[in-house]
């Protein structure tokens, strides 16, 4: 595949969506073929699965069912949107991907990072991101940010106890140790301007390297 697959990860309220929108605006100006998308979602079927997973009324959802639904949404999103874009050489920036499953379902739900990785192999068939930017923030600070954002819908996972969100962050830290070449950590507790300028610099570097290779 000739494109470049970049994923953005982090706990709730880390600022992923905010920064991705700013990056999209910047890249669109420069004429780069960029696709901005998200998980779970990004295409009709996966958005429908998203509604089921994140509905706060679905309190009886089993943890393995949750993990499988994320993997199913991922599969459809890859096949319908991400892979075709990469094949035509586009830059794909995805708000969350496999690492979210590893941190949330694998570590925080306690299903096991290795186990969730294995389940997801069926969905991704070894298609991993070229680079992942991990936005790190203390769970309390991230949750505080989303609490003051009154326009945002509260989802089923936001409602988990603080301890769950700490385990999510712990899961991401384990992934950084496991994939140091792929995952770059950014301190997301900084101002929007600082997080944006660091992200922009990293993405510019990745684009430059990518175009050298072509
Ligand atoms: N660096 C920042 N400093 C202060 N507030 C921020 C910062 N980045 C984002 N915010 C605000 O925090 C809230 C959450 O941001 P955003 O939706 O981008 O986070 P997210 O990582 O996509 O969250 P989630 O994964 O929970 O959807 C928004 O109201 C946004 O304006
Ligand atoms: C892809 C993916 C996501 N999650 C969780 C993380 C968030 O709580 C929601 C998505 O909401 P957002 O506002 O779009 O960030 O889903 C998960 O638990 N596992 C996953 O694989």
Calculate mean pLDDT across residues 194-205.
98
Distance 9 CA to ligand 1 centre (A): 12
Using CA positions, which residue lies closest to atom 31 of ligand 1? Answer: 18
Contact yes or no for 8/20 (Cβ under 8 A) = yes
Pocket of ligand 1 contains residue 63 by CB under 6 Å:
no
Contact yes or no for 6/206 (Cβ under 8 A) = yes
Using CA positions, which residue lies closest to atom 23 of ligand 1? Answer: 13
pLDDT in the model for residue 50? 98
Distance 86 CA to ligand 2 centre (A): 23
ipTM exceeding cut-off 0.95 for this assembly: yes
Tokens of 17: 């969506």
Neighbouring C-beta atoms of residue 111, cutoff 10 Å: 19
State the pTM of this model: 0.98
- Digit-coded pLDDT (tens) for 74-112: 999 999 999 999 999 999 999 999 999 999 999 999 999
In the chain the beta strands, taken as DSSP E runs, fall at 4-9, 34-38, 91-95, 131-136, 183-187
Using CA positions, which residue lies closest to atom 16 of ligand 1? Answer: 15
Give the integer Cα–Cα distance in Å for 139 and 142. 5
Helix, strand or coil, per DSSP, at residue 80: helix
The full length of the chain comes to 214
- Digit-coded pLDDT (tens) for 132-174: 999 999 999 999 999 988 788 889 998 999 999 999 999 999 9
Q: How many helices (H) and strands (E) does the chain have?
A: 9, 5
Give the integer Cα–Cα distance in Å for 176 and 198. 18
- Digit-coded pLDDT (tens) for 180-198: 999 999 999 999 999 999 9
Contact yes or no for 111/164 (Cβ under 8 A) = no
Nearest ligand, CA of residue 149? 1
Pocket of ligand 2 contains residue 70 by CB under 6 Å:
yes
Among left, alpha and beta (phi > 0; psi -120 to 50; other), residue 59 is alpha
Instruction: Look at residues 210, 198, 195 and name the one whose alpha carbon lies nearest to residue 33.
Output: 210
Give the integer Cα–Cα distance in Å for 75 and 49. 12
Contact yes or no for 104/171 (Cβ under 8 A) = yes
Using CA positions, which residue lies closest to atom 19 of ligand 2? Answer: 101
Distance 195 CA to ligand 1 centre (A): 11
Strands 91-95 and 183-187: unpaired
């Amino acid at each position: 595949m000739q494109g470049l697959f970049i994923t953005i990860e982090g706990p709730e309220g880390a600022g992923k969506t905010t920064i991705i929108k700013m990056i999209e605006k910047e890249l669109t100006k420069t004429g780069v073929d960029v696709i901005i998308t998200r998980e779970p979602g990004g295409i009709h079927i996966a958005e429908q699965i998203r509604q089921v997973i994140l509905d706060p009324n679905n309190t009886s959802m089993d943890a393995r069912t949750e993990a499988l639904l994320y993997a199913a949404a991922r599969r459809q999103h890859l096949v319908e949107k991400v892979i075709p874009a990469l094949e035509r050489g586009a830059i794909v920036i995805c708000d969350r991907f496999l690492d979210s499953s590893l941190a949330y379902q694998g570590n925080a739900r306690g299903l096991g990072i290795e186990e969730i990785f294995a389940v997801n192999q069926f969905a991704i068939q070894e298609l991993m991101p070229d680079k992942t930017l991990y936005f790190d923030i203390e769970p309390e600070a991230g949750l505080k940010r989303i609490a003051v954002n009154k326009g945002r819908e509260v989802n089923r996972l936001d409602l988990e106890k603080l301890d769950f969100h700490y385990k999510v962050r712990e899961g991401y830290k384990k992934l950084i140790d496991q994939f140091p070449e792929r995952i770059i950590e950014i301190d997301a507790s900084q101002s929007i301007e600082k997080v944006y300028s660091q992200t922009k610099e990293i993405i510019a570097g990745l684009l430059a390297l990518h175009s050298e290779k072509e």
